[in-house]
Amino acid sequence: ELQHAVERVVIMAEGDVLRPQDFSFSPLETPLRSAEEKQDLRLDEIEKSTIQRVIDKHQGNITKAAKELGITRTALYRRLGKYDI
Q: Which residues contact 40 (CB under 8 A, 6 or more apart)?
A: none
Domains of the chain (ranges, CATH numbers):
2-39 (no CATH), 43-82 (1.10.10.60)
Q: Specify the higher pLDDT residue, 58 or 4.
A: 58
Q: Is 72 helix (H, G, I), strand (E, B) or coil?
A: coil
Q: Give the span between the Cα atoms of 62 and 38, in whole angstroms.
A: 33
pTM for this entry: 0.53
Q: In the prediction, which pLDDT does 28 show? A: 45
**67 falls in which pLDDT band (50, 70, 90)?**
very high
Contact 69, 54 (CB under 8 A): yes
Tens-place pLDDT, residues 7-56? 777 777 777 777 777 777 655 444 555 555 555 567 888 889 899 999 99
Q: Give the span between the Cα atoms of 67 and 76, in whole angstroms.
A: 10
Q: How many CA atoms lie within 13 A of 41 on its CB side?
A: 13
Q: In the prediction, which pLDDT does 29 show? A: 45
